[in-house]
Homo-oligomer: A and B are copies of this chain.
């Protein structure tokens, strides 16, 4: 496929002539589902293994054949005019195919037309779509978040009006939070909601920015979830309410008005994800409806946000998977230099670059990150499912604690690490990686947003150390870290991986120690939370991925003991784990040191001394 590389024919030179490849990692998902997590043990009878595997197979086909071929064209972006937004060529058709295939309804509530599949199964859809064409998937992803939010919090009338149309995919959804002056700090939003005389609806006014998929012609209506303040609302986040504002109002007979209720007044020029229009939305006395309760908007919105945060972590995984899948064939075909142990392909002018240890280092970073990230994503989705299915309150509480910890880790750590390894994907290509036609740099640009939206890495890290650890005095952390230590103890007899087990056990204990240190210091020095937060999150991420590798190693050893037909699959898992433990996990040494660093190195400098240099 890459064998001719770039035979320069001058006139074709500047044309994107090289197509990328993508194959859904179905085998890997099966390993994680069957052998690592044993998901079917937890799934309800309505989701038996044979049906789930068929769904996964179909989703693989859709992502490979329909979504991936239109990934690169997405970089041409959207075109805005006062009348309409044009999305990239072929994207609207793909959405039609997605709807026709029944994909929007996969995890949705059967009461509103959904198929009620476990979120763990829906996470496979998300992963495959994210890897094949993340930016396209943002459209259905936002609808999914809107469904989650309305299902959980909306009053019955709103559910009845909006959910069936969202579930079928006929309408799509958005989340309208950010304003020009208010991003991470939503307490200072200025949008207002004034009650109408009808006692039911409100007039919503304000400008929202960074509204992904805020306008397009894929759906007959767009359902905006908008944060705004009621008259005389309390200050800060406690005074925010959540409203539904449809693009077109719904008449009593169910048909839509033709005049729009709000407008997209411009789109942003961005670094990447260009196929997703990032809209400036203008609401001017737009009719809207209170989703749940007054001043309860932050909480209600979080149903949307939590779903979105897990999805954004999966976005990172998807980008890294695509980068790996396109770095690997290049490394196997590009000829340059000779292996350090002597020529491997003596009949060729040079060896393929995969013989070079440093190229293998880059590939194994991608490989070890994606495989453990995948395991973490499905592990967490299963925890989320189990929270919903839990019948025992104590069990439910424990699972909720774990989910709470893992959500910011998935969002921030997978997005940060993904950006790093997708850059490694460029590096495998050398200078060619910088050239648009290969697609490797597009992945990096598309990936970069994941560390920013749905709460930056800084916000996630404060969520972890503050809300998820300090607020319950570390109880959830101790419970989860304890379950990791317990897993280590249970598997101590696996001598082949004993060094790895001991490493994880030690780090899980140090994790508690680090968190404890921060909590102790915080009593006197509140700056320590933020001073330590991002590096503590990275420490957590490396540890948790190491735990996932350990679980996969235990499963691989078990499989190998049973003499499987494909032992090399399991051997490759063990070898990839070797790499992770030797070359990635030691990052915890760095983060353990910086989490313990005194806060004054961040706080002591006077604000106007930052600038003394010119």
Question: How far is A201 from B114 in the complex, measured between Cα atoms in Å?
Answer: 77
Does chain B have a CB within 8 A of A517? no
> In the complex, how many angstroms separate the beta carbon of A450 from the nearest chain B beta carbon?
10
Question: How far is A193 from B360 in the complex, measured between Cα atoms in Å?
Answer: 36
Q: A8-B180, A605-B360 are in contact. Are A448 and B430 (CB under 8 A)?
A: no
Is B185 touching A271 in the complex (CB atoms < 8 A)? no
Is A614 touching B579 in the complex (CB atoms < 8 A)? no
Does chain B have a CB within 8 A of A188? yes
Size bracket of the A interface: 35 or more
> In the complex, how many angstroms separate the beta carbon of A42 from the nearest chain B beta carbon?
24
Q: Which of B13, B27, B282, B568 contacts A614 (CB 8 A)?
A: B27
Question: How far is A210 from B434 in the complex, measured between Cα atoms in Å?
Answer: 10
Does chain B have a CB within 8 A of A240? no
Question: How far is A419 from B372 in the complex, measured between Cα atoms in Å?
Answer: 26
Q: A435-B270, A605-B576 are in contact. Are A10 and B282 (CB under 8 A)?
A: yes
> In the complex, how many angstroms separate the beta carbon of A76 from the nearest chain B beta carbon?
12
Question: How far is A576 from B601 in the complex, measured between Cα atoms in Å?
Answer: 8
Question: How far is A113 from B286 in the complex, measured between Cα atoms in Å?
Answer: 71
Further 7 A-B residue pairs, CB within 8 A, beyond A6-B209, A431-B452, A572-B610:
A16-B269, A188-B350, A269-B436, A354-B610, A367-B610, A426-B448, A445-B445
Does chain B have a CB within 8 A of A569? yes
Q: A13-B265, A582-B594, A594-B586 are in contact. Are A356 and B270 (CB under 8 A)?
A: no
Question: How far is A222 from B533 in the complex, measured between Cα atoms in Å?
Answer: 53
Which chain B residue has the least Cβ–Cβ distance from A456? B430
Is B341 touching A185 in the complex (CB atoms < 8 A)? no
Q: A13-B266, A583-B597 are in contact. Are A180 and B458 (CB under 8 A)?
A: no
Q: A16-B269, A180-B5 are in contact. Are A358 and B604 (CB under 8 A)?
A: no
Task: Please name 13 pairs of A and B residues whose Cβ atoms are closer than 8 Å in the assembled complex, sorted by A.
Answer: A8-B265, A183-B336, A184-B336, A270-B434, A270-B436, A358-B462, A358-B530, A361-B531, A371-B613, A419-B423, A427-B451, A444-B448, A587-B590
Question: How far is A267 from B185 in the complex, measured between Cα atoms in Å?
Answer: 44
Question: How far is A27 from B423 in the complex, measured between Cα atoms in Å?
Answer: 35
Is B445 touching A430 in the complex (CB atoms < 8 A)? no
9 closest pairs, A vs B, by CB? A13-B266, A10-B265, A586-B593, A271-B441, A185-B336, A357-B530, A269-B436, A582-B597, A23-B614
Question: How far is A113 from B607 in the complex, measured between Cα atoms in Å?
Answer: 47
Question: How far is A356 from B594 in the complex, measured between Cα atoms in Å?
Answer: 17
As a 0/1 sequence over residues 550 to 584 of chain A, the CB contacts with chain B under 8 angstroms (1 = contact) are 00000000000000001011011001101100110
| CB neighbors of B among A155-170 (8 A) | none
Does chain B have a CB within 8 A of A397? no
Does chain B have a CB within 8 A of A257? no
Tell me which residues across on chain B come within 8 A of A445, comparing CB atoms.
Answer: 271, 445
Tell me which residues across on chain B come within 8 A of A11, comparing CB atoms.
Answer: 265-266
Does chain B have a CB within 8 A of A603? yes
Is A594 touching B601 in the complex (CB atoms < 8 A)? no
Which chain B residue has the least Cβ–Cβ distance from A190? B349
Question: How far is A354 from B605 in the complex, measured between Cα atoms in Å?
Answer: 11
Q: Which of B5, B268, B597 contacts A181 (CB 8 A)?
A: B5
Is B452 touching A533 in the complex (CB atoms < 8 A)? no
Q: A268-B435, A435-B269 are in contact. Are A604 and B587 (CB under 8 A)?
A: no
Which chain B residue has the least Cβ–Cβ distance from A571? B609
Does chain B have a CB within 8 A of A400? no
Tell me which residues across on chain B come within 8 A of A367, comparing CB atoms.
Answer: 610
Q: A14-B269, A209-B8, A433-B452 are in contact. Are A583 and B601 (CB under 8 A)?
A: yes
Tell me which residues across on chain B come within 8 A of A423, comparing CB atoms.
Answer: 419, 448
Q: Which of B16, B188, B267, B601 contacts A14 (CB 8 A)?
A: B267
Is B14 touching A614 in the complex (CB atoms < 8 A)? no
Does chain B have a CB within 8 A of A28? yes
| CB neighbors of B among A352-367 (8 A) | 354, 356-361, 363-364, 367
Tell me which residues across on chain B come within 8 A of A534, comparing CB atoms.
Answer: 358, 361
As a 0/1 sequence over residues 595 to 607 of chain A, the CB contacts with chain B under 8 angstroms (1 = contact) are 0011111111111
Is A582 touching B569 in the complex (CB atoms < 8 A)? no
Tell me which residues across on chain B come within 8 A of A358, comparing CB atoms.
Answer: 458, 461-462, 530-531, 533-534
Tell me which residues across on chain B come within 8 A of A188, comparing CB atoms.
Answer: 335-336, 349-350
Is B184 touching A337 in the complex (CB atoms < 8 A)? yes
Tell me which residues across on chain B come within 8 A of A80, comparing CB atoms.
Answer: 14
Q: A267-B14, A269-B435 are in contact. Are A341 and B586 (CB under 8 A)?
A: no
Does chain B have a CB within 8 A of A526? yes
Tell me which residues across on chain B come within 8 A of A487, comparing CB atoms.
Answer: none
Does chain B have a CB within 8 A of A507? no
Does chain B have a CB within 8 A of A323? no
Does chain B have a CB within 8 A of A1? no
Q: A590-B589, A605-B360 are in contact. Are A431 and B598 (CB under 8 A)?
A: no
Does chain B have a CB within 8 A of A332? yes
| Best-surrounded residue of A209, A269, A451 (most CB of chain B within 10 A) | A269
